[in-house]
Amino acid sequence: MTEPRKIIIDTDPGQDDAAAIMLAFGSRDELNVLGITTVAGNVPLSYTSRNARIICELCERRDVKVFAGADAPLARKLVTAEHVHGKTGLDGPSLPEPTMPLQPGHSVDFIIETLRSEPEGAVTLCTLGPLTNIALAFQKAPDIVARVRELVMMGGGFFEGGNITPAAEFNIYVDPEAADIVFRSGVPIVMMPLDVTHQLLTRKDRVARMAAIGTPPAKAMVEMLEFFERFDIEKYGSDGGPLHDPTVIAYLLQPELFKGRDCNVEIEVTSELTVGMTVVDWWHVTDRKRNAKVMRFVDADGFFALLTERFARI
């Protein structure tokens, strides 16, 4: 029996972030969540830090350490997404306010201290929101970059374009300077772009199988998804909304669900028209360094089967 993989989840919950965190909680044999670090993104930091603790208490995981992190991008005004996630960022179910405390200390310092104290190559960073905390940690402690096993991130898009602008996906758009620092850092990146997540629609039959689990976490998740998907159903006219963030955790559990290739990825940080765009050299038309494993294809039925099976274990 191998040791569970040590991970830090950096997140801006967000209903889809909640699904990712719950997938990790339902996989205790494989994943050891060393901590959850929150960042401003979908909603302001006060809400993302509240929501992370609500999710922990919903899943009876008050043991998990939750830290608050950056309340704004490195160099820009915060852009949020209440239009998608609701005012609180976790609209849908009615859940009690958290009673577990935030940990003292900042997310960035927790990331640095954990990477320095754990053996080199032992910790995986799982990012579900803007990359502000990660960029700050790499700037403050460059020595930790080489200590990261892998950084698996939800963000970006290439043939699929953007979702917050025609060119940019939300997580990258909120803090393009942070994304630029991370993609230039040399850390081993696995990228889950919209090209993958837009294949993962919360179709009625899939949500019905989650509802049939019948536990409080599953019930709350269904109510979150029913709220979260309304915006994208309206926008795309699709059967359900794309489920973004759980792809990061699913990759750690069943990487064979995904297919992609090593590519060069660079971030647009200047053009007003395309700021936040992830420029992915999928066809290798340049000799730029292939700094990320970019996923493009996913087994959607396998993904939702994993989600449902693991939600039932929480």
Task: Name which of ligand RIB, Ca ion, none residue 291 binds, using a CB cut-off of 5 to 8 Å depending on partner kind.
Answer: none
Contact (Cβ atoms closer than 8 angstroms) between residue 37 and residue 71 = no
Residue type for 273, please?
A: L
Neighbours of 70 (CB within 10 A): 27
* Block residue for tokens 């310092």: 109
177 forms part of the interface with ligand RIB (CB under 6 A): no
Task: Name which of Ca ion, ligand RIB, none residue 229 binds, using a CB cut-off of 5 to 8 Å depending on partner kind.
Answer: none
Q: How far is CA 194 from CA 165, 175, 211, in A?
A: 13, 17, 26
Nearest to ligand RIB of 112, 251 (CB atom): 251
Neighbours of 284 (CB within 10 A): 12
- The correct pick among 129, 155, 162, 276 for binding Ca ion (CB under 5 A) is 129
Catalytic residues: 244
Q: How crowded is the C-beta side of 26, counted as CA atoms within 13 Å?
A: 25
170 forms part of the interface with ligand RIB (CB under 6 A): yes
How many Å apart are CA 100 and CA 214, to the nearest integer? 25
Contact (Cβ atoms closer than 8 angstroms) between residue 18 and residue 222 = no
Q: Strand, coil or helix: what is 37?
A: strand
| Backbone angle region of 14, left / alpha / beta, with phi > 0 → left and psi within -120 to 50 → alpha | left
Task: Name which of ligand RIB, Ca ion, none residue 163 binds, using a CB cut-off of 5 to 8 Å depending on partner kind.
Answer: ligand RIB
How many Å apart are CA 279 and CA 284, to the nearest integer? 12
Nearest to Ca ion of 129, 260 (CB atom): 129
- The correct pick among 8, 9, 10, 16 for binding ligand RIB (CB under 6 A) is 16
Residues 48-87 contacting Ca ion, CB under 5 A? none
Task: Name which of Ca ion, ligand RIB, none residue 169 binds, using a CB cut-off of 5 to 8 Å depending on partner kind.
Answer: ligand RIB
Give every CB contact of residue 234 below 8 A, 6+ residues apart in sequence. Answer: none
Q: x-or-dash pattern for Ca ion, window 131-170, by CB under 5 A?
A: ----------------------------------------
Nearest to ligand RIB of 17, 112 (CB atom): 17
Total of chain residues touching ligand RIB, rule CB under 6 A: 15
Residues that bind ligand RIB (CB under 6 A): 12, 14, 16-17, 41-42, 128-129, 154, 163, 169-171, 244-245
Residues that bind Ca ion (CB under 5 A): 12, 14, 17, 128-129, 245
